[in-house]
Structure formats: structure tokens, C-alpha cells
């Protein structure tokens, strides 16, 4: 289960991505339509819902489990419900926590951490259910200045005739259309930290992109460029 679309292709080519990625510390995005829908009632103790988070700013309150602890509990709980369809912890049981901490700091936004605290429960073991929950959470999150800037820069580059409409379309999740309706701009807008978004804006928009390309080709160029930056930021497994 990886971050969606061309981010997936880029991650698949990375030496850092030898194990499947799962949500907060392990990526978050498209998985196969065959993701199992699991029955959380088999073990009510496996629900790993975290404490409340301030939805206005997307920051946790400083109490409760960390994102990596939540992710470990989520993977462990879902694996108990469906051992044959389970995920592995990236870098293995012993090294996951150290890797996850590095990855969380290098990649994830506050809005993404907020989504994990809300959505990584055994009710959402199926990938589409989990992402639907995550993407719904962004409807009440507040983007940072860097997140707004990367979307604006993309729209000015790829859809200059309708920058305002483009920004709304690229950042608003429609539950009726489902998680597969989102694209790489949506992921950059909500799930990546400010440093990554600033680098993507600088390197993947404006003069860095062929202004003559149509919107679809422009999006593909953006996604390829952003995916490369994302992969470069992924930490290797600790020695």
C-alpha cells in the first residue's frame, strides 16, 4: 500500500522501498482493489484509535501514542485479523521504529499525522477504507503556507486559465468519487511536509515544466518530478 499514482512508480524503483509501505510511516496511497475487508468485531481490543487531535491546525496535543506507535499497532492488529493478507513492517520488526521515526520527520505533514491518528484502526484495514477516512479528514484540516503555495504554483503552471478552480479541485476530496479520484497534487497538498513541498514547487512547477503541455501531460510531468523528490527523501533502513 503506497502513496498513489506516479508516487507509487517512483517508490517501486527505490532501493528504500523493498518492503510494502503502510500509511503514516510507510506511505499512504493506492493499493489493489483486492484489499481485504476485515471484520474488526473479531477482536475489539485491536482498535488503535488515538487521542483527539486539534483539527484546526493538524497538530497533536502532545499526549498519547506517536504516529509510529499507532502505525505499528495498526499493522499488528490488522495482521491478526487476516494473517494471509497482512503487511510487513518496513525494515522488519526490530528496525521499524527507528526507520519510521526518520521517515515521519522526512516526509509527513501534520495533516497526515492527524489523519493517521484518526484512521489507523482495525475498522480500516482495507486500503480504500483507510484512505477514504484519511482523505475525509483533510476536509477539516488547515493547509500550511507551503502546501497552499505548491498547489497555486501547480495550477499557475498547468491550468493557468482557472487557477482558483484548479486549486479547489486539487485539494478537495469528494467522498462520492472515492479515494481513486485524487491525484499527486492532492497528496503534495496534504500529506507532504513543508520542506518537500517547497522543493517540489521550486523544481516541478513554473519554468521547470513545459508550459505548452496540455493539463494531463503537465500533471504527469509534475507527478514524475515530485515522485523523484519524494523517493530521494525516503530514509534507508537503519544499519
- pLDDT digit of tens for each residue in the chain (239 aa)? 345 444 443 433 332 322 233 333 434 333 332 333 333 223 322 333 333 333 333 333 344 789 999 999 999 999 998 776 667 899 999 999 999 999 999 999 999 999 999 999 999 998 999 999 999 999 999 999 999 999 999 999 999 999 999 999 999 999 999 999 999 999 999 999 999 999 999 999 998 777 666 899 999 999 999 999 999 999 999 99
- Which among 170, 60, 36 is positioned nearest to 109, based on CA atoms? 60
Residue 22's contacts (CB-CB under 8 Å, 6 or more residues apart) are 1, 71, 74, 75, 87, 89, 90
Radius of gyration, CA atoms only, the chain: 17
Residue 157's contacts (CB-CB under 8 Å, 6 or more residues apart) are 205, 206, 209, 211, 218, 222
pTM, two decimals, is 0.76
Q: How far apart are the first and last CA of the chain?
A: 24
Residue whose C-alpha cell reads 507527478 in the numeric block: 223
**Interatomic CA distance for residues 87 and 25, integer angstroms:** 13
Domain ranges of the chain: 6-233
Count H helices, E strands: the chain?
11, 0
Amino acid at each position: 500500500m503506497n502513496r498513489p499514482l506516479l508516487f507509487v512508480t517512483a517508490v517501486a524503483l527505490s532501493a528504500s522501498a523493498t518492503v510494502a509501505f503502510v500509511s503514516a510511516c510507510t506511505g499512504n496511497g493506492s493499493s489493489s482493489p483486492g484489499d481485504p475487508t476485515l471484520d474488526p468485531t473479531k477482536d475489539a481490543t485491536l482498535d488503535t484509535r488515538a487521542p483527539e487531535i486539534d483539527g484546526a491546525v493538524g497538530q497533536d496535543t502532545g499526549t498519547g501514542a506517536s504516529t509510529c506507535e499507532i502505525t505499528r499497532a495498526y499493522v499488528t492488529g490488522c495482521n491478526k485479523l487476516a494473517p494471509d493478507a497482512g503487511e510487513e513492517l518496513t525494515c522488519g520488526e526490530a528496525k521499524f521504529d527507528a526507520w519510521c521515526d526518520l521517515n515521519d520527520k522526512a516526509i509527513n505533514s501534520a495533516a497526515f499525522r492527524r489523519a493517521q491518528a484518526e484512521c489507523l484502526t482495525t475498522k480500516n484495514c482495507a486500503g480504500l477504507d483507510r484512505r477514504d477516512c484519511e482523505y475525509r479528514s483533510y476536509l477539516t484540516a488547515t493547509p500550511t503556507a507551503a502546501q497552499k503555495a505548491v498547489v497555486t504554483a501547480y495550477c499557475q503552471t498547468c491550468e493557468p486559465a482557472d487557477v482558483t478552480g484548479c486549486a479547489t479541485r486539487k485539494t478537495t476530496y469528494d467522498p462520492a468519487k472515492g479515494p481513486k479520484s485524487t491525484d499527486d497534487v492532492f497528496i503534495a497538498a496534504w500529506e507532504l511536509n513543508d520542506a518537500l513541498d517547497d522543493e517540489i514547487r521550486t523544481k516541478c512547477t513554473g519554468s521547470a515544466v513545459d508550459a505548452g503541455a496540455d493539463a494531463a501531460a503537465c500533471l504527469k510531468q509534475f507527478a514524475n518530478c515530485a515522485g523523484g523528490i519524494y523517493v530521494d527523501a525516503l530514509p534507508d533502513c537503519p544499519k
